[in-house]
Structure 1
Amino acid sequence: MTTTTPVSTRVSDLLLSKVPQVTLAFWVIKVFSTTVGETAADYLNVTLGFGLTVTSIVTGVLFLIALGVQFWTRRYVPAVYWLTVVLISVVGTLITDNLTDAAGIPLWVSTIVFTFLLAATFTVWYLRERTLSIHSIVTRTREAYYWLAILFTFALGTAAGDLVSESLGLGYLLAAILFAAVIGVIALAYFVFRANAVLCFWLAYILTRPLGASLGDLASQPVEDGGLGLGTTLTSVAFLAVIVVLVVFMTIRLNRDRTQLELEAGEAELAGA
């Protein structure tokens, strides 16, 4: 026996949700936004010579502005949401870089600390809201927990990814393959063995950070260092262009779906009158 979700419920979910549906486009943009975050940070820090401190301040201010706009919007706006993700990826990366390069804190220590902070965030979030599902991000409180968790996933992904890369010395290509393979195992656990959807989502979300960083380094770093030699500028522009195209596509599709559901809701109300 199958059940159909009421039109009013689907309209409410679509209009109130502050985050996108988890689709293939979602994961592609997530990985590429991580790549842009990694290469953009390197571009500002090294290529333009801003230095780690100035780069951290500039991107931190831009992120807070974008996050403020994201909270101000009443529903999911693709351009605002994904701009916030790109900037938070830069900030999360820079937090770990500052701890490692400026403060001299070992990567294994950062990995443990961010694991604890992320676990603490999830614990408080669940105890207060009884759910960690991103499909339930319909209140300011849940949205605050959501973005705090995302910040820690980027910082953790940076620390853990750098720790694995440096410890194993795999190089950019093999590191990307390794992280992609682990994500594939998580996907297999979810689709085949019906593992917990929320747990699989967050594990994959954490791992897309080092995957995206490895892809960014593979594309941007010099050939003699194991990269393709495209440079941070070209790599950032190329990946950003893909993000923009996908965000435009998602915006058009979202507006179409909202319009369709609103029409169905109106017809349902007339039929019940």
Structure 2
Amino acid sequence: MTAPRSFLMPKVPEVFLLFWVIKLLTTGIGETASDFLGTWNLAAAGVIGVGGFFAALRWQTRATTYQPVRYWVTVLMVAVFGTMIADGPHVALGAPYYVDAGVYVVLLCALLAWWHRSEGTLSVHSITTSRRERFYWGTVLLTFGLGTALGDTTATNLHLGYWWSAVLFTALMALPILAWRLGASSVVCFWAAYSLTRPLGASVADGLAVPRVHGGLGWTTGVVSALGLAGFAALVAYVALTHSDEEGAHAAHAAGRELDDEPLPEFELD
């Protein structure tokens, strides 16, 4: 058995505000783009959703360093594919969304337990080997599947609609943030918040896209997907050009600012 490849730096971006903004955009795009493709052409949806996911994942895993465009394109394709695999059992088998959500909870917990037992950590800052990267992307995929099922559960099975679902998941997002501020495990809080971004972003995107008779604004899935993609492309281009989301970038910036704020030494005149 060959040893996993090692990387000098983690192959994931640094977690700060812009990370969550881009992540939320991918969740919304994944929801509406999957719906748009499904109504446009099922064969094309399968090719783009499944083929695009595996192509992007291969592109990402072949890199030896973190590269923003590769990483975020892969997240975007995981969002589209994750929506498809979450909606599939409901459409094909008629399974309630809450059943799908329960299945994904079990699968996600099992994968996290396997990852922790194998590597001793679930921290995203430890993605420095190919094996940990595989665990990471498997976990990301399951969080998208779980989040899709949770959003559909609240909007459809619990009859909250899209906007009240968005309010609910916004409030739930505050819980891991508060727990982290109070000293809870940053790793646990990260994955909890990461999972909740999916139903939050998807609820907002659906609320914008679905017809007014169904509780939305009626912008259509195509328009919402296009607007989301434009914002996504602009933000990914920004982090790619500025390198502002590379590991340690914010710490270095903060250290440099502290040095700039220090008073200049005073010299006595003879």
Q: Which runs of 4+ in 1 moved over 3 A?
A: 255-258
2:63 to 69, 73, 87: 73
Q: CA deviation at 1:21?
A: 0.5
Q: Give the match for residue 157 of structure 1.
A: 147
Between structures 1 and 2, the one with greater helix share: 1
Q: Distance in 1 between matches of 2:242 and 2:159?
A: 42
1:257–1:80: structure 2 CA closer, same or farther, 3 Å change rule?
Answer: closer
Q: Distance in 2 between matches of 1:54 and 1:242?
A: 24
Q: Distance in 1 between matches of 2:183 and 2:230?
A: 35
Q: Give the match for residue 30 of structure 1.
A: 23
Partners of 1:56 and 1:91 within 8 A in 2: no
Q: Give the match for residue 142 of structure 1.
A: 132
Alignment of 1:1-150 (within 5 A): 16-46=9-39, 48=40, 50-51=41-42, 55-150=45-140
Q: CA deviation at 1:45?
A: 0.8
Q: CA deviation at 1:194?
A: 1.6
Q: 1:16 corresponds to which letter in structure 2?
A: M
Q: CA deviation at 1:77?
A: 0.8
1:116-136 residue CA offsets vs partner (Å, 9 max, x unmatched)? 111111011001100000011
Q: 2:213 corresponds to which letter in structure 1?
A: E
1:194–1:57: structure 2 CA closer, same or farther, 3 Å change rule?
Answer: same
Q: Which moved more, 1:148-157 or 1:101-110?
A: 101-110
The number of residue pairs the alignment matches comes to: 244
User: SS of the residue aligned with 1:16?
Assistant: coil
Q: Which moved more, 1:172-181 or 1:140-149?
A: 172-181
Q: Give the match for residue 260 of structure 2.
A: none
Q: Give the match for residue 189 of structure 1.
A: 179
Question: Structure 1: any 5+ residue segments left out of the alignment?
Answer: 1-11, 262-273
CA RMSD of aligned residues (A): 2.0
1:168–1:146: structure 2 CA closer, same or farther, 3 Å change rule?
Answer: same
Q: Give the match for residue 271 of structure 1.
A: none
Q: Distance in 2 between matches of 1:238 and 1:91?
A: 20
Q: Distance in 2 between matches of 1:101 and 1:112?
A: 17
User: SS of the residue aligned with 2:69?
Assistant: helix
Q: 1:113 corresponds to which letter in structure 2?
A: V
Q: Distance in 1 between matches of 2:173 and 2:38?
A: 30
Q: CA deviation at 1:69?
A: 0.6
Partners of 2:13 and 2:245 within 8 A in 1: no
Q: CA deviation at 1:109?
A: 2.3
Q: CA deviation at 1:209?
A: 0.5
1:154-183 residue CA offsets vs partner (Å, 9 max, x unmatched)? 111111221122232111111111101110
User: SS of the residue aligned with 1:236?
Assistant: helix
Q: Give the match for residue 241 of structure 2.
A: 252
Q: Give the match for residue 234 of structure 1.
A: 223
**Does residue 216 in structure 1 map to residue 216 in structure 2?**
no
Q: Distance in 1 between matches of 2:114 and 2:100?
A: 21
User: SS of the residue aligned with 2:32?
Assistant: helix
Q: 2:183 corresponds to which letter in structure 1?
A: R
Q: Give the match for residue 257 of structure 2.
A: none
TM-score scaled by structure 1? 0.84
1:99–1:256: structure 2 CA closer, same or farther, 3 Å change rule?
Answer: closer
Q: Distance in 2 between matches of 1:256 and 1:40?
A: 26
